[in-house]
Amino acid sequence: MNRQGAGVVVLAFLAAVPTARAEDARKLLVESEARHRTKSQQYAGDLTVVAKDGKVRKKAWRSWREGYAGDAKLLIRFHAPPEVKGVSFLSLGRPGKGPDQWLYLPSMKRERRIATQDRDASFVGTDFNYEDMEEFDQSKFAVSLKGDETADGQVCWLIEARPEENAGKSLYEKKLLWLRKDILFGVRQDVFRKGEKEPAKRLHLSDVQQVEGHWVAKALEMTDLKKGSRTTILLQELAFDRPQPAGRFTLQNLNREGGED
Amino acid sequence: MRFLLSTLSLSYATRNKAKTFLTLLGVVVGVATFSAIRGAQSTLVGGIRSTVDRMAGKAQLQIAMEGGVPEELTETIRELPGIRSQSPVIEQVVVPERGELGSILVLGVDLLGDREMRDYSFEGDDADLDDPLLFLAQPDSVAVARPLAKRAGLKIGDPLVLKTSRGLRTVKVRGLMTPKGFAEAFGGNLIVMDVFAAQDLFARGRRFDRVEVRLADGTTLEEGTRTIEKAVGPAYRVETPDRRGAQLEKLITNFVAGFNISSGFALGIGTFLIFNSFAVAVNRRRRDIGTLRSLGATPRQVMLLFLVEAAVLGLVGGVLGLLAGASMSQSFLKLMEQTSEQVFGIINASEAHIDGTLAVQSVLLGLFASLVGAWEPSRAASRIPPTEAFAKGSFQAKRGPLSKPRVIGGLALFGAAIAFTFRPPFGGNPLILMVMGLCVASVAMLASPASQALIDRVAPFAARISPVAGRLAADSLMANPRRTSGTVIATTISIGFVLGLGGYMGSTKASMLRWMHDVLTSDLYVRASANFTNPDSRFPASFREELAALSGVRSVESYRGMRITVDGEPAMLGTIEVPLMMKRVKHDFLQGNDESMLRGLSERGEVGVSDNFHRLHRAGVGDKVTIATPSGTVSFPIAAVFRDYTNDRGTIFMDRSVFLRYWKDDRVDTYDVNLISGADIGKVRDEIRVLVGGRMPALISTKREFVSEIGKAVDAFYSLVRITVFLALGVAFLGIVTSLLISVAERTREIGILKALGAVRAQIARSVALEGVALAVVGYVLSLPIGLLIAYFMETTVAEVFAGWRMPHQTPWGLLTELAIALPLVSALAAFVPARPAARTKVTEAIEYE
């Protein structure tokens, strides 16, 4: 979802539009996408998973993204701890459909496809699942403006997004998005599983800064409201619009060992 | 009646504890054997279904193919309409290095998405499994079911060494599963690991054992099956877990049928034991009966008294037998499970249990057997006139009914048994019960007159052997025909069953050994898996060239076996380079010959079929066999029919080139290596070991070793029948011992008279022992025709009904000799032991006995 934050759930929203235009959620999202679109993004991420019982697990990865929303390509390679070094994840967006996703395991020297059915599975033991790893594409959702609300001290638009039936299966019935009115940047998202009235998970985007002229949240925290666990990702060494080598986002490259790209 | 029971019956039982115990033992052994075998059998069959169901979880369909499902198949069905999810599976039973833990089922699943299929229950300290990345990134990761972990003392991070086809492999516990749903399968002896790691661990290459499918809401099973079948082609089996369970059950039909026969035998012998015991008991208590009759008891009351006694004995024996059976059934089940895994590749692990229905059946059978056994003696007791009952010794001297109608009736029944053996009007268990019933009935009717006739001829010989003891024994035998005939009947029926079952097994094994001698003529056999029928790993085809290049090797044949379905019935497909094989193998043809087989299979793409396939499917030369192949459904003409014991459901043979053309799968189960004359087998074997070392699992056997290994598998198939033969033998000896013990006790008065006339103790004991030997010899001689008929019936009619085979008869000389030695010894001992104390009894006491 979130192209800024870690290749993990991220929302791109428009700048504040305080007048009657704000009622048009679609326009807000389209404008946000146009404003925050970047050709590429890369960073080093530190991931911390805190279980309900307080048990902490840490991992570190490098992430590269090319494209945006429905046509985004994402490659992640883990480099710590040593037990998971070289494990890689590739996601190739398909316009109008769910993306193709693969996980590469160096111990077996082979990639394995993440099936559509598996999108609910935890992504590498975090509170994100594989669907959460997809870029948010507003064109796959029916959206409506629900008003405005304050989140993290910022006045935000509250937008409800429901997956379109013809845009591929989704685990969720709806998502609630909070966009800062001033920069149209998403700072919170609640996701609701099918048939449930309470949100299953909540994503907070914080430490929002400008890097190379782009707004970006350098800290993401996904909380599983049922399990009581949370996953934090801290983004470092952020860079935008760097040219990506040809073939980086391919299965051949995914299967390349060493973890360096 | 209560008064009669407490005064007459209870008093008799108290005075004759040993005899009552032996009679009770007959019921207990019969019921215990029956309930143990049936309990284990139903647990095995139910367990197979239950394991399939539990392992399947929420999967509605399973896609499988012999030799494994290629990974690409998952791509083929990924986008099919109506498919909600799919999940590949590898299933393997392994033995841990710590053998005491028992066999463990390893289930390889795609942990990324398998929760769609199965409910996992990870709780407590197994949080590591919540980090699938760590679990997946380390291919030695396993999650262990808690009951197994508890027994093995395993915790997170502990290693567990498993014996695999590639040798010892260590896995590491990274998760624990609470037994729930599928984790209860295989008795909780379950390990879960990643399916791709399992591929490597168990040498599956890039194949899965099956792919499980869950359908989208609104898609029916028929629609889903049709869609998948259309997409994957006819070579794949697309079936519900329930149907798969039914197919697996079908595979072990013959194996299970053997248990029915065995348990029937055990119960039959037990029933006769009761009959014999009651018959003797009635004879012993005729003075009591006479007293009762004199005091006004009606014949009906006397009969009822004995039947109530029998009912009490039957109920007590039934309950005790049930308890004994429950404790025996787990051992039987383990044996059955090992065989079903070794011979059929079917996995199961359950705790044997005897359900309520079987428990009631068992107790009722004990009751029924007792009533049946006691009916005729009770009737006889009720008809004893008081005057005769009071006349000491007169009854024993009375000859049994030697009426012509009885002899004719017995002969007619035996003739009917022979007729049903040679021309069975129907099949299955009813036929077996019918023939066995006729045999028992005919023996019951004929044994008495036959034994009297035999004893009349044998007794004088006994007199010649020992002037005093022999003459005493001979006089006793001829003077007490009624008493002796009971023992003879017991011996005849029991030994008849033993000879029948044992003879059948002997013929079967001899036929198979001869066949193996004709067919397994290569010098070395290089196998990829220890499992003959369902190999868990295979060789690449290219390995043949490497073997052929070794010095000393003349030729190499590539054998590949495969379980297939023909006309809805399971069968085996065997493929090999036929021209090479025909140079060394001697086939026993029923139809066709070497020429038609060679040309048909290697030049015209035809098939050869085994004799049992020919009989089971009624297909011979000129007919066609239709087989679903990955390239479509193909009808293969039959070129030859020959004797073959590869599979009990029938085997089809084709040339390897034809198999490769249609199946496009060149992997090999076994390489048959033929050496040049004079080559050193040991040296070539060592070279092959070096060749495969570290690359692939391989078992290299010489011809003799290979035949011996197959022999073990055959033995495993008949293991339970063998146990039943021993049990039947035990029951037979028990019958003989009971009869003789009672017989000797009956002679106490006679012994007293002999002592009064000057006989010494040793002479009396020897004469009784000699009498026991004579009775055993007569019973043994009479059991020969019945035993050989039963053996022939099993070898031909029963074997053909179930497996399509007709085993050439082999007279079980070994068994006959063993019985000829053991039987007189046991009988002599059984008679001698009670005869000694009887001989010590005071003359006055002995004469007053009865």
3-state secondary structure B224-271: HHHHHHHHHCCCCEEECHHHHHHHHHHHCHHHHHHHHHHHHHHHHHHH
Dist. CA B400–CA B123, nearest whole Å? 75
pLDDT bracket for residue A13 (50, 70, 90): very low
Query: pLDDT tens-digit profile of B790-822?
Result: 888 888 888 887 788 888 888 888 888 988 888
Nearest CA-CA distance, residue A115 and chain B, Å: 7
Dist. CA B325–CA B843, nearest whole Å? 45
Residue B115 has pLDDT above 70, yes or no: no
Per-residue confidence (pLDDT) for residue A22, from 0 to 100: 39
Dist. CA B717–CA B412, nearest whole Å? 36
Greater confidence, B266 or B133? B133
Q: Which of residues 553-572 of B touch A (CB under 8 A)?
A: none
Residues B492 and B546 in one domain: no
Residues B24 and B118 in one domain: no
Residues B661 and B553 in one domain: yes
Dist. CA B311–CA B368, nearest whole Å? 8
Q: Which of residues 30-49 of B touch A (CB under 8 A)?
A: none
Query: pLDDT tens-digit profile of B239-278?
Result: 888 777 776 766 676 667 666 666 666 666 666 666 666 6
Interface check for B139 against chain A (CB to CB < 8 A): the answer is yes
Q: What is the mean pLDDT of residues B731-738?
A: 67
Cα B506 to the center of its chain, rounded Å: 14
Dist. CA B787–CA B497, nearest whole Å? 6
Contact B132 A125 (CB under 8 A): yes
Query: pLDDT tens-digit profile of B2-25?
Result: 666 766 677 777 777 776 777 787
Q: What is the mean pLDDT of residues B52-75?
A: 82
Nearest CA-CA distance, residue B352 and chain A, Å: 38
Asked, for residue B429, whether it belongs to a domain, the answer is no
Q: Is A69 left (phi over 0), alpha (psi -120 to 50) or beta?
A: left
Chain B residues close to A60, C-beta within 8 Å:
none
Nearest CB partner across the interface for A83, out of B85, B116, B134: B134
**Cis geometry, peptide bond prior to residue A106 (ω within 30 degrees of 0):** no
Nearest CB partner across the interface for A87, out of B113, B133, B200: B133
Report the share of chain A in percent with pLDDT over 90: 38
Q: What is the mean pLDDT of residues B754-778?
A: 80
Residues B273 and B251 in one domain: yes
Residues B156 and B9 in one domain: no
Q: Which CATH architecture has domain A20-254?
A: Clam (2.50)
Residues B216 and B318 in one domain: no
Domain boundaries, given as residue ranges, for chain A? 20-254
Contact A51 B133 (CB under 8 A): no
Nearest CB partner across the interface for B137, out of A83, A120, A121: A83
Q: Are B273 and B498 in contact (CB under 8 A)?
A: no
pLDDT bracket for residue B606 (50, 70, 90): very high
Per-residue confidence (pLDDT) for residue B684, from 0 to 100: 94
Query: pLDDT tens-digit profile of B269-311?
Result: 666 666 666 666 666 676 777 777 777 778 888 888 888 888 8
- Return mean pLDDT, chain A: 83
Q: Which of residues 41-100 of A touch B (CB under 8 A)?
A: 49, 51, 53, 55, 57, 59, 78, 83-84, 87
Look up the ipTM and state it.
Answer: 0.74
Chain A residues close to B136, C-beta within 8 Å:
87, 103, 105
Name the nearest CA neighbour of B194 among B157, B139, B245, B134.
B139
φ, ψ of residue B454 in degrees (nearest 5): -70, -45
Greater confidence, B390 or B162? B162
Domain around B66:
62-239
Asked, for residue B288, whether it belongs to a domain, the answer is yes
Residue A23 has pLDDT above 60, yes or no: no
Query: pLDDT tens-digit profile of A232-248?
Result: 999 999 999 999 898 89
Per-residue confidence (pLDDT) for residue B574, from 0 to 100: 95
pLDDT bracket for residue B497 (50, 70, 90): confident
Q: Are B608 and B601 in contact (CB under 8 A)?
A: yes
Name the nearest CA neighbour of A44 among A99, A14, A95, A6.
A6
Q: Which of A106-115, B129-138, B497-506, B718-727 has the lowest mean pLDDT?
A: B718-727
Report the share of chain B in percent with pLDDT over 70: 81
Q: What is the mean pLDDT of residues B412-419?
A: 91
Nearest CB partner across the interface for B133, out of A112, A116, A125: A125
Mutate to test the interface with B, among A111, A118, A224, A255 (most CBs of B within 10 A): A118
Per-residue confidence (pLDDT) for residue A10, from 0 to 100: 39
What token pair was written down for B726?
Answer: 């021993």
Residue A15 has pLDDT above 50, yes or no: no
Asked, for residue B703, whether it belongs to a domain, the answer is no
Q: What is the mean pLDDT of residues A163-171?
A: 77
Q: Which of residues 188-227 of A touch B (CB under 8 A)?
A: none
Name the nearest CA neighbour of B135 among B108, B116, B162.
B108
Q: What is residue B566's three-state secondary structure?
A: strand
- Return mean pLDDT, chain B: 81
Asked, for residue B767, whether it belongs to a domain, the answer is yes
Residues B24 and B171 in one domain: no
pLDDT bracket for residue B336 (50, 70, 90): confident
Q: What is residue A143's three-state secondary structure?
A: strand
β-pairing, A141-151 vs A110-114, is: unpaired
Greater confidence, B705 or B846? B705
Q: What is the mean pLDDT of residues B118-123?
A: 58
Q: What is the mean pLDDT of residues B767-783?
A: 84
Mutate to test the interface with A, among B86, B136, B199, B208 (most CBs of A within 10 A): B136
Residue in chain A closest to B131 (alpha carbons) equals A125
What token pair was written down for B272?
Answer: 């006769």
Q: What is the mean pLDDT of residues B314-325?
A: 89
Per-residue confidence (pLDDT) for residue B370, from 0 to 100: 81
Domain boundary among B207, B239, B271: B239
Query: pLDDT tens-digit profile of B79-108?
Result: 788 888 888 999 888 888 887 787 788 889
**Block residue for tokens 């198949």:** B73
Q: Which of A144-148, B367-371, B721-725 has the lowest mean pLDDT?
A: B721-725
Chain B residues close to A121, C-beta within 8 Å:
112-113, 115, 132
Q: Which of A55-59, B50-54, B452-456 has the lowest mean pLDDT?
A: B50-54
Nearest CA-CA distance, residue B667 and chain A, Å: 22
CA angle at A147 for the pair A144 and A151, rounded to the nearest 5°:
110
Residues B136 and B200 in one domain: yes
Q: What is the mean pLDDT of residues A193-218?
A: 92
Contact B112 A103 (CB under 8 A): yes
Chain A residues close to B137, C-beta within 8 Å:
83-84, 87, 105-107
Asked, for residue B523, whether it belongs to a domain, the answer is no
Residue in chain A closest to B71 (alpha carbons) equals A112
Residue A6 has pLDDT above 50, yes or no: no
Contact A87 B130 (CB under 8 A): no
Mutate to test the interface with A, among B109, B111, B129, B131 (most CBs of A within 10 A): B131
Domain boundary among B194, B222, B239: B239
Contact A118 B131 (CB under 8 A): no
Interface check for B216 against chain A (CB to CB < 8 A): the answer is no
β-pairing, B651-655 vs B569-576, is: parallel
Residues B189 and B307 in one domain: no
Asked, for residue B137, whether it belongs to a domain, the answer is yes
Q: Is B225 left (phi over 0), alpha (psi -120 to 50) or beta?
A: alpha
Mutate to test the interface with B, among A102, A107, A123 (most CBs of B within 10 A): A107
Per-residue confidence (pLDDT) for residue B122, from 0 to 100: 56
Q: Which of A181-195, B217-231, B362-376 has the lowest mean pLDDT?
A: B362-376
Question: What single-letter DSSP state applies at residue B576?
Answer: E
Contact A84 B137 (CB under 8 A): yes
Residues B303 and B259 in one domain: yes
Cα B822 to the center of its chain, rounded Å: 25
Contact A57 B131 (CB under 8 A): yes
Nearest CB partner across the interface for A118, out of B112, B136, B197: B112
Residues in contact with B651: Cβ distance below 8 Å, sequence separation at least 6, in sequence order: B571, B572, B573, B574, B609, B610, B612, B613, B644
Per-residue confidence (pLDDT) for residue B269, from 0 to 100: 66
Greater confidence, B318 or A261? B318
Nearest CA-CA distance, residue A95 and chain B, Å: 17
Residue in chain A closest to B114 (alpha carbons) equals A118
Contact A108 B110 (CB under 8 A): no
Per-residue confidence (pLDDT) for residue A8, from 0 to 100: 37
Residue B702 parent element (H or E):
strand B699-702
Chain A residues close to B138, C-beta within 8 Å:
83, 107
Chains A and B form CB pairs within 8 A to the count of 69
Residue B402 has pLDDT above 60, yes or no: no
Greater confidence, B520 or B14? B520
Contact A117 B85 (CB under 8 A): yes
Q: Which of A53-62, A107-116, B679-688 has the lowest mean pLDDT?
A: A107-116
Interface check for B136 against chain A (CB to CB < 8 A): the answer is yes
Residues B278 and B353 in one domain: yes
The domain tally of chain B equals 4
Q: What is the mean pLDDT of residues A72-85?
A: 89
Per-residue confidence (pLDDT) for residue B98, from 0 to 100: 85
β-pairing, B167-177 vs B141-145, is: parallel
Quickly list H helices, chain A: 25-36, 251-254
Contact B139 A108 (CB under 8 A): yes
Domain boundary among B662, B696, B730: B696
Q: Which of residues 84-113 of B touch A (CB under 8 A)?
A: 84-86, 110, 112-113
